[in-house]
Structure 1
C-alpha cells in the first residue's frame, strides 16, 4: 500500500500499475426514489391568539413495522419557527441538514434578529419542494410550518411534495387530516375563533387529537413531541406521553381475546 500522505491507502502505481477507475463508471439511467420507505405519520397544528401549537409522534415505521420509536419529527428554526415533517424520514434528514445550514447562514449574516419569519421559511420550503418535483425527484414529505409572520401574527401553513401550499387555522397531515382535523375544527372553524383561543386550550385540543390518532392510526405512538411558538420563541418538549392510554377497557368488549361465557 502507498502510505505517503498524498495517497493514503492506495496501491503504489510504480509497483501495481495505475489504479483502475473503470468499475466506478456508471452509464445506466438516472435513478430517483420511487416511494418512501421509512415514514412518519401525522403532524397536527393549531393557531391560538398568541402563536401556534404543533405536535407529532416519535415513531418511524418501516412499512407496517413500528421500527424506530425515538424519531423526533418537529424541528425548531432560528428560534422563531417550528417545522413538522411527515413522510419519508431520509428526506426529512436531508431537509434538516439543509435547514441547519440555512439557520447558520441566518445567524452569521443577521446575528441580532433572524431575517426569515415563519411565512418566509414556508415560502422558501415550498419553492424547494417544487424545484425537486420539477426534476422528477421529489422529497416525499408533507410539511407544516408554524410561527409568526412578518406582521407578528400567528402563521400556520402546509407544503407537500408537489410544492402545493395552503393555510388554515388548524392543519394536519396524513391520517390526521381525516381523524384530527374534525376535532380541531370543532374549536377553531375560522380565523376569528383562533384569535379567541388561549394557549392552554390549544395545547389541550392538540393533546386530544394526538390521543385519537394513537387509538385510530396503526402507524402512531403514544410518545410524541409538542411545540409552542410565540413571540418569546419556541418551546419544544420531545418526550411527552399520552395520559390514560391504557387498552384495559378492551377486556370488557365482547369478542376480544380469550373469554369464557
Structure 2
C-alpha cells in the first residue's frame, strides 16, 4: 500500500493503470474571481460622544440561499479597532489572516506602539487599491471603527476600488439605503454625533438591524455588535433581535386563506 499523501484517494496503479492527470493541465491565461459567491450583507456603524458602535448579522448567503448562519463578520484588532466586513466571505477570510499577521507583527514590535483605527483604515485602503490595480480585487466593502491617535471616535469605509470616506454614520450593502436614513436622524453631522449618548446610539443601531431583518432578504435576526470606547472593546457575537416574529402576518387582511 502506498502511504504517501499524494497517493491518498487515488485508484491503485497496478489494478486500474497509471493515473492520468493530463486533463488538469491548462495553458490558458490566469483567471481571478469574477464575482463574489458566498456573501455577507450589511454592516452598520454609528459614532457617539465616547466611541463607536458597529454591528453586522451572522449570515453568509450562497447566492439567494441563506446557507451559513454562524459567520462572524466583525473582527477586533489590537483592542483598539473593529473591522466590519460586507461582501465576499472568502476574501474576508483572506483579510482576516492578513490582519492576524499584522497584529502579531505589531505586538512584537520594539517601538511599543500599535496601529490605531485611522492607521488601520489607511493600511486596508492601500491593500484594496493595490489588489484593484492588479485586476484582482477583494470583493468587499469594510467599515473600520475605533479610536484615532488622539483617542477620538473614528469611523471610515473602504471598498474594492480603494475608495474611502468617513461619516458620523456608515452602512454597507442594503444598509446604505435602509439603515442610513435612520442613523442620520440621530446623528446628521459630527456635532450631533459628539452629543449622542451610548444608550441613544445603541438604540439607533439595534433599530437599524431590526429594519434590515424585515426588509433585506439576505439578513438574519442573529447579529454581532461591538462598542468601542477608551475602556476597550465590548464585542457580543450572538445577539438576537427580541420579539421579532412574522406571526403578525395572519392578522393582515388578505393574507393566506383569510377573506374578511
TM-score (norm: length of structure 2): 0.91
Residues 254, 230 of structure 1: CA spacing in aligned structure 2 closer, same or farther, 3 A cutoff? same
| Residues 55 and 84 in structure 2, CA contact (< 8 A), matched pair in contact too | yes
| Residues 78 and 114 in structure 1, CA contact (< 8 A), matched pair in contact too | no
Name the counterpart of 1:75.
Answer: 75
The Cα of 1:24 is off from its aligned counterpart by 6.8
Supply the distance in 1 between the matched residues of 2:5 and 2:250 (Cα, whole angstroms).
Answer: 65
Name the counterpart of 2:238.
Answer: 239
3-state SS of the aligned residue for 1:109? coil
Unaligned ranges ≥5, structure 1: 11-15
Supply the distance in 1 between the matched residues of 2:26 and 2:199 (Cα, whole angstroms).
Answer: 57
Name the counterpart of 1:153.
Answer: 152
Root-mean-square deviation over aligned CA pairs? 2.3
Name the counterpart of 1:143.
Answer: 142
The Cα of 1:258 is off from its aligned counterpart by 2.0
| Residues 214 and 222 in structure 1, CA contact (< 8 A), matched pair in contact too | yes
Detail structure 1 runs of 4+ shifted over 6 Å in the superposition: 7-10, 19-24
Unaligned ranges ≥5, structure 2: 8-13
Supply the distance in 2 between the matched residues of 1:69 and 1:239 (Cα, whole angstroms).
Answer: 11
Deviations 1:164-217 (A, max 9, x none): 000000000000000000000000000001110111111111000000000000
Name the counterpart of 2:171.
Answer: 172
Supply the distance in 2 between the matched residues of 1:52 and 1:184 (Cα, whole angstroms).
Answer: 13
Supply the distance in 1 between the matched residues of 2:120 and 2:135 (Cα, whole angstroms).
Answer: 23
The Cα of 1:56 is off from its aligned counterpart by 0.2
Name the counterpart of 1:39.
Answer: 39
Name the counterpart of 2:103.
Answer: 103
| Residues 171 and 179 in structure 2, CA contact (< 8 A), matched pair in contact too | yes
**Count of paired positions:** 253
3-state SS of the aligned residue for 2:86? strand
Indicate yes or no: 2:244 matched with 1:249: no
The Cα of 1:8 is off from its aligned counterpart by 7.0
Supply the distance in 2 between the matched residues of 1:126 and 1:55 (Cα, whole angstroms).
Answer: 20
Supply the distance in 1 between the matched residues of 2:238 and 2:219 (Cα, whole angstroms).
Answer: 14
3-state SS of the aligned residue for 1:246? coil
Deviations 1:64-122 (A, max 9, x none): 10000010000000111000000000000000011011111111115x95420000000
